[in-house]
């Protein structure tokens, strides 16, 4: 299982970020968070993917949770020497080669605009673009799945055009529908559950993204390529 580490968690920083070096923090007594240095980009994520492979051989490892340019490492027991764990993580980062994950291509049919595009007007106001420009820019991009988390099967997608960046809401929508195609900051995705959601909805997709009865429940996986294909534009 992979998941995003939410920013509201308050880890105990052990090694602060510096140029070219990751930040390493402790969370609780047996968990350590490594955050890649530099920008939120594919190069940083490839190092995280590589580090995940490197750490699988640790005998004291309970779980690895890759996130968006970060990696949460959970040990089987509280280490007697936490500083030694941090050193091992730092050394593993140094030797982990950048790798790419050969994922599949997923096309998601989207109904842009209409009743589910509750935040399209606000995004237009924020960006200065027309609704048709926002939709065109969104569906012409090619996205990459960096990590899964937040809700079962939810993919955090990289590749959003900066022109349609939109901050997450300070007050979430209370009942955003499952299937809404959303933008949150420099990320985009598809809502997995109906309920509170702080992202900005611009359309709707009926594709089933998560099937608990399937051998591979989540449609998306890290490394996959995602394209949004407009089937209807209702403005």
Q: Is the pLDDT of residue 213 over 80?
A: yes
Residue 175's pLDDT band (cuts 50, 70, 90): very high
Asked whether residue 2 is assigned to any structural domain, the reply reads no
Q: Is the pLDDT of residue 78 over 60?
A: yes
Q: Report the CATH number that the domain containing residue 153 is assigned in CATH.
A: 2.40.100.10
Asked whether residue 155 is assigned to any structural domain, the reply reads yes
The total of other beta-carbon atoms located within 10 Å of residue 172's CB is 13
Same domain for 114 and 89: no
The Cα–Cα gap between 46 and 36 comes to 10
Question: What is this structure's pTM?
Answer: 0.81
Mean pLDDT of the 212-227 span:
91
Which is more confidently placed, 182 or 214?
Answer: 182
Same domain for 144 and 85: no
Q: What is the pLDDT of residues 7-41, one digit of tens each?
A: 434 456 565 555 668 999 998 899 999 999 877 78
In terms of DSSP bridges, do strands 105-113 and 200-204 run parallel, antiparallel, or are they unpaired?
Answer: antiparallel
Indicate the residue among 42, 63, 95 that finishes a domain: 95
Q: What is the pLDDT of residues 35-61, one digit of tens each?
A: 998 777 888 899 999 999 989 889 999
Residue 26 contacts residue 72 (beta carbons within 8 Å): no
pLDDT of residue 132: 97
Give the count of domains, the chain.
2
Q: Report the CATH number that the domain containing residue 31 is assigned in CATH.
A: 3.30.1360.40
Asked whether residue 139 is assigned to any structural domain, the reply reads yes
Indicate the residue among 36, 69, 95 that finishes a domain: 95
Structural domain containing residue 221: 105-234
């Amino acid at each position: 299982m992979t998941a995003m580490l939410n920013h509201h968690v308050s880890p105990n920083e052990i090694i602060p970020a510096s140029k070219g070096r990751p930040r390493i923090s402790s969370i609780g007594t047996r968990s350590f968070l490594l955050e890649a240095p530099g920008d939120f980009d594919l190069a940083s994520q490839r190092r995280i993917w590589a580090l995940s492979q490197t750490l699988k051989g640790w005998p004291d490892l309970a779980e690895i949770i890759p996130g968006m340019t970060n990696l949460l490492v959970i040990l089987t027991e509280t280490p007697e020497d936490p500083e030694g764990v941090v050193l091992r993580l730092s050394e593993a980062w140094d030797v982990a080669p950048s790798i790419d994950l050969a994922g599949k291509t997923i096309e998601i049919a989207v109904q842009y605009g209409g009743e589910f595009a509750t935040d399209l007007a606000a995004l237009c106001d924020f960006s200065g673009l027309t609704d048709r420009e926002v939709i065109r820019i969104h569906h012409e991009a090619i996205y990459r799945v960096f990590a899964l988390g937040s809700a079962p099967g939810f993919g955090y997608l990289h590749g959003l055009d900066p022109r349609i960046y939109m901050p997450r809401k300070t007050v979430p929508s209370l009942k955003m529908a499952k299937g809404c195609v959303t933008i949150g900051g420099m990320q985009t995705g598809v809502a997995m559950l109906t309920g509170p959601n702080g992202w900005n909805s611009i359309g709707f997709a009926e594709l089933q993204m998560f099937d608990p009865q399937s051998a591979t429940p989540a449609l998306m996986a890290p490394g996959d390529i995602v394209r949004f294909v407009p089937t209807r534009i209702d403005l």
